[in-house]
Structure 1
């Protein structure tokens, strides 16, 4: 049961970050508590304060935040995203895109909170982008890199996952 709540919290965090950056147009996003010895479910990393060995446990929220903070760097600009020619996103799929300051890289963060895998094609005005890397956070993965075919512009987003795609223009 604890695992289910951990999964729900990491999707809630991803939704909050997505909406703050895309709807509220926030220029930055911060988490106020990194390490916690208590089980308030507000830390990114938990330490066992009863142990002297320095045991720590990472939360799924750490990895959910990492899908944004590891790849979207200062100076990146948010880009408009259309899904199937519609500007309206669905509650099951949230997508945001960010362009690097040198305009060479585009970072997309895709949040699939639905129960089905989704296929995505990253074409823009008939042109596809080279995918450099894909990172997945899900029940079983913690911001793990997946093997990609750089020439491909389509890929699958696993059900109930957060996926970060880094592509080149």
Structure 2
């Protein structure tokens, strides 16, 4: 939920600065259902106790859907950065049996329960590419305490780029000379 919350803040951030994320909101996205399906599936995989092989398969599948969306929309600002983050996370998850390896120290700092039925990240014995796993922590006293990865940082950074690309000042009409200079 931490990464989703940060992405929502990133999308709303131009509004705080008196700008409208026109480039992001008015863009004609190709196959946007892929992103929404991936997000919904991730929520289901993490919050619903699915049988073990299905949870891992669906988890990896969400990254495949995100990567297809990124490829189809690669010309949009920020999308390749989001895609790079999804690729890092998805490849690391696929190489570690459907789970993003997490640092025990990061899990402890975030105050997470290691005994959860299926965790999208967990401490893995002998992980592949452990440095690409959830090695950072948003600590427990803070809201939405969780672990996060380099891939997650890239995803949020890409959303920030996408949200700010093509912003327009609020309160100006699209046809005004001032708007043309923005």
Highest Rg: 1 or 2?
A: 2
Higher relative contact order by CA 8 Å / sep ≥ 6: 1 or 2? 2
Name the TM-score class by shorter chain: 0.3 to 0.5
Answer 1 or 2: which has greater strand percent.
Answer: 1
State the TM-score, normalizing by the size of structure 2: 0.33
TM value normalised by structure 1: 0.34
